[in-house]
């Protein structure tokens, strides 16, 4: 009888044991991929905190003593501070106008009914199919005729048009998932289409807007091709373009280059940390239907 109880106990405990082993393996895989993802960032930060002679001696060793001189030199001598300010001046209005225009267009295509709605929406989507390399020459001549070369507007206006197809597609999807009864109830209470969008629908799409904000800020911050085409004056260079010249000038000083890269990636990390919860909600919403 006792042996039978022990056998039954072992049989009952085996499913929980296998589940426990699966959890351990899952966490091991996740931790492994986490380390693979963050190790380059950690290595860059450690390289920026090393003196250049120590970095040249051993690339992967921990620093014997930390120094912040590389950051101050990259900020002032390497003009990272000026390039960072230029990137902020370009990124903020670009992201703001994309969020405003894409939410309005997404609401129109997702909730309003008007002749030619679907045809116009697919016309916008056609912009996602055209590679940017096919548009750079007409964009350059357009900016030149408008006398916008070497201005911030040359970096903002084309980006709005290039980013709108994806942004409209994303916002339309979220607006379509919202119940039509909300609009009907708001109209009974005296709202028109715009007030229904502003007070009822828009607050419900905050996760989607946050996801779009993170995407657009990241793409704007890392944009290299448009600044390379439209900006020749060093006073208007953004971080990616300025870093190219910075790398060419300080090729031998790898610690200084690492400090410049660290300065460039900090704003993206901060933005993601600030909006990560809403960003994840926006990405995962709609994947599980109630």
pLDDT, averaged across the chain:
85
Instruction: Please check whether residue 150 lies inside any domain of the structure.
Output: yes
| Banded model confidence at residue 93, pLDDT cuts 50, 70, 90 | very high
| Banded model confidence at residue 285, pLDDT cuts 50, 70, 90 | low
Please determine, for residue 8, whether its predicted confidence score (pLDDT) is greater than 60.
no
**Are 161 and 275 members of one domain?**
yes
Q: How buried is residue 237: exposed, middle or buried, by Cβ count under 10 Å (0-12/13-18/19+)?
A: buried
Please determine, for residue 289, whether its predicted confidence score (pLDDT) is greater than 70.
no
| Banded model confidence at residue 230, pLDDT cuts 50, 70, 90 | very high
**Are 171 and 44 members of one domain?**
no
Domain count, the chain: 2
Hey, what long-range contacts does 190-199 have (CB within 8 A, 24 or more apart)? 193/112, 197/104, 197/107, 197/111
**Are 21 and 155 members of one domain?**
no
Instruction: Please check whether residue 132 lies inside any domain of the structure.
Output: yes
pLDDT in tens, 99-119: 999 999 999 999 898 898 889
**Are 44 and 74 members of one domain?**
no
The answer to whether 201 touches 183, Cβ cutoff 8 Å, is yes
**Are 36 and 80 members of one domain?**
no
> Taking residues 186-208, what's their average pLDDT?
88
**Are 76 and 39 members of one domain?**
no
**Are 113 and 155 members of one domain?**
yes
Instruction: Please check whether residue 138 lies inside any domain of the structure.
Output: yes
**Are 172 and 277 members of one domain?**
yes
Instruction: Please check whether residue 91 lies inside any domain of the structure.
Output: yes
The pLDDT value given to residue 213:
92
Instruction: Please check whether residue 100 lies inside any domain of the structure.
Output: yes
> Taking residues 72-82, what's their average pLDDT?
87
The pLDDT value given to residue 254:
82
Domain of residue 164 covers 70-284
**Are 277 and 144 members of one domain?**
yes
The pLDDT value given to residue 102:
94
Q: Report the alpha-carbon distance of residue 250 to residue 243 in Å, rounded.
A: 10
Please determine, for residue 225, whether its predicted confidence score (pLDDT) is greater than 70.
yes
Instruction: Please check whether residue 54 lies inside any domain of the structure.
Output: no
The pLDDT value given to residue 277:
76
**Are 32 and 175 members of one domain?**
no
Instruction: Please check whether residue 53 lies inside any domain of the structure.
Output: no
> Taking residues 171-188, what's their average pLDDT?
88
**Are 95 and 193 members of one domain?**
yes
In this structure, what CATH number is given to the domain that contains residue 245? 1.10.3720.10
pLDDT in tens, 142-177: 999 999 999 999 999 999 989 999 999 999 988 998
């Amino acid at each position: 009888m006792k042996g039978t109880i022990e056998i039954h106990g072992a049989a009952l405990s085996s499913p929980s044991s296998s589940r426990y082993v699966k959890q351990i393996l899952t966490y091991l895989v996740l931790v492994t991929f986490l380390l693979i993802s963050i190790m380059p960032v950690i290595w860059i930060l450690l390289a920026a905190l090393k003196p250049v002679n120590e970095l040249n001696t051993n690339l992967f060793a921990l620093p014997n003593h930390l120094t912040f001189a590389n950051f101050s030199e990259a900020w002032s001598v390497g003009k990272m501070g000026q390039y960072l300010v230029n990137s902020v001046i370009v990124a903020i209005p670009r992201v703001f106008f994309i969020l405003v225009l894409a939410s309005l267009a997404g609401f129109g295509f997702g909730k309003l009914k008007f002749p030619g709605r679907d045809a116009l929406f697919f016309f916008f989507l056609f912009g996602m199919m055209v590679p940017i390399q096919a548009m750079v020459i007409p964009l350059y001549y357009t900016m030149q005729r408008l006398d916008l070369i070497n201005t911030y507007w040359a970096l903002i206006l084309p980006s709005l048009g290039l980013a709108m197809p994806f942004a409209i597609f994303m916002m339309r999807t979220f607006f379509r998932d919202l119940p039509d009864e909300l609009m009907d109830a708001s109209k009974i209470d005296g709202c028109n289409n715009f007030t229904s969008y502003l007070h009822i629908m828009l607050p419900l799409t905050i996760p989607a807007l946050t996801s779009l904000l993170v995407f657009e800020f990241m793409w704007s911050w890392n944009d290299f091709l448009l600044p390379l085409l439209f900006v020749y004056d060093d006073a208007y260079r953004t971080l990616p373009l300025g870093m190219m010249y910075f790398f060419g000038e300080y090729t031998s000083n790898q610690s200084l280059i690492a400090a410049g890269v660290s300065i460039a990636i900090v704003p993206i990390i901060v933005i993601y940390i600030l909006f990560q919860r809403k960003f994840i909600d926006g990405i995962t919403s709609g994947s599980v239907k109630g």
